[in-house]
Amino acid sequence: MFNLIFIAPVWGPAKWRCTKMICKVFAIAAHADDIEFRMAGTLILLAKAGCEIHYMNIANGSCGSAEHDAETIAAIRLEESKNAANKINAVFHSPLVNDIEIFYEKNLLAKIGSVMRSVAPDILLVDGPMDYMEDHTISSRLAVTAAFTRAMRNFPVDPPKEPVFNQVTVYHAQPHGNRDLLNRFVFPDFLINIDSVIKEKSDMLNEHKSQKEWLEKSQGFDVYLNTMKNFSRELGNLSAKCEFAEGWRYHNPLGLCNTDSNPLRDILQSKFNEVPSGLG
Ligand SMILES: [Zn+2]
């Protein structure tokens, strides 16, 4: 019942967001290169459609090297992430904690909540709710709660920001490798055809040179980019309409947006494909 009491004054006229001139999209993931693996194709299409893109990794990449110390690799990965975000002219928001230190706790939630209010997105893209890695799962929970509390004046955010009263539609990306923590394939609710932008998605991922080189030293040439393409191809095969796709699931709209809100469908139109019923 709390939801219903809370959202009544927050909601505006039905579908008013679809008529806005500029749609704001906020992609939040756990680590540097997570956005590139699971969300970037959709982001590129949204940027081409005129949306304003915001980009944030919650953790700084401090554990992403067997060679450099934490501070050095975090600095390298910050530059790599900025370079990737620049490819789609995204507004970059700095990471907040070290790798493996993404906990569902008050201080981190307050910081993400402050960024959420400053962006006030119409579309929020987050990690999958169940992923092989806890950082991913918890980043999803933090981002959703940060959105849920955007209008709560009595929830203090850090730094302080006035509450915002926008509708926000939340979508979960596929888990890494399209499989959950029990290694079961996760069926998305719908797919976005990314055939036309797979090269640009690959170029964004290619900016994470420290990770690419690290992986290729042990596993061979181009394994980094090909892993991403294989994940995208597995989803393309589900649609039977494209070679490469990204999969998304709807978050429950309570407290967030109208029940029929679906701006990814409205904006991307022909790229949007429901997953055939009976598969999931
Ligand atoms: Zn990750």
Q: 16: CA distance to ligand 1 center in Å?
A: 34
Residue 247: per-residue pLDDT: 98
Residue 66: per-residue pLDDT: 84
Q: 141: CA distance to ligand 1 center in Å?
A: 15
Q: Is residue 279 part of a domain?
A: no
Cβ neighbours of residue 28 closer than 8 Å, sequence gap 6 or more: 56, 57, 58, 112, 124, 125, 126, 127, 139, 143
> Exposure string (b/e) for 126-156, b if CB count within 10 Å is 16 or more?
bbbbbbebebbbbbbebbbbbbbbbbeeebe
Residue 279: per-residue pLDDT: 64
Residue whose entry in the numeric block shows the structure tokens 């290729």: 216
Q: 206: CA distance to ligand 1 center in Å?
A: 16
Please state whether beta strands 91-93 and 123-126 pair in parallel, antiparallel, or not at all (unpaired): unpaired
Residue 224: per-residue pLDDT: 95
Q: Is residue 213 part of a domain?
A: yes
Q: Is residue 59 part of a domain?
A: yes
Q: 135: CA distance to ligand 1 center in Å?
A: 7
Q: 29: CA distance to ligand 1 center in Å?
A: 7
Q: Is residue 200 part of a domain?
A: yes
Residue 20: per-residue pLDDT: 58
Q: In terms of Cα–Cα distance, which of 96, 112, 111, 109 is closest to 59?
A: 96
Q: 58: CA distance to ligand 1 center in Å?
A: 10
Neighbours of ion ligand 1 (CB under 5 A): 30-31, 34
Q: 143: CA distance to ligand 1 center in Å?
A: 15
Q: Is residue 221 part of a domain?
A: yes
Q: 204: CA distance to ligand 1 center in Å?
A: 15
Q: 30: CA distance to ligand 1 center in Å?
A: 5
Q: 158: CA distance to ligand 1 center in Å?
A: 24
Q: Is residue 16 part of a domain?
A: no
Residue 220: per-residue pLDDT: 84
Taking the chain (280 residues) in consecutive chunks of 10 residues, what is each chunk's mean pLDDT?
34 43 92 97 98 98 90 96 98 98 98 98 97 96 98 98 97 97 96 98 97 88 94 93 96 96 96 78
Q: 32: CA distance to ligand 1 center in Å?
A: 7
d(CA 30, CA 138): 8
Number of domains in the chain: 1
The domain of 69 spans: 2-7+23-274
Residue 280: per-residue pLDDT: 60
Q: Which CATH number covers residue 248?
A: 3.40.50.10320
pTM of the model: 0.92
Q: 64: CA distance to ligand 1 center in Å?
A: 10
Q: 7: CA distance to ligand 1 center in Å?
A: 32
Q: Is residue 128 part of a domain?
A: yes
d(CA 78, CA 117): 23
Q: 274: CA distance to ligand 1 center in Å?
A: 26
Q: 221: CA distance to ligand 1 center in Å?
A: 21
Q: Is residue 152 part of a domain?
A: yes
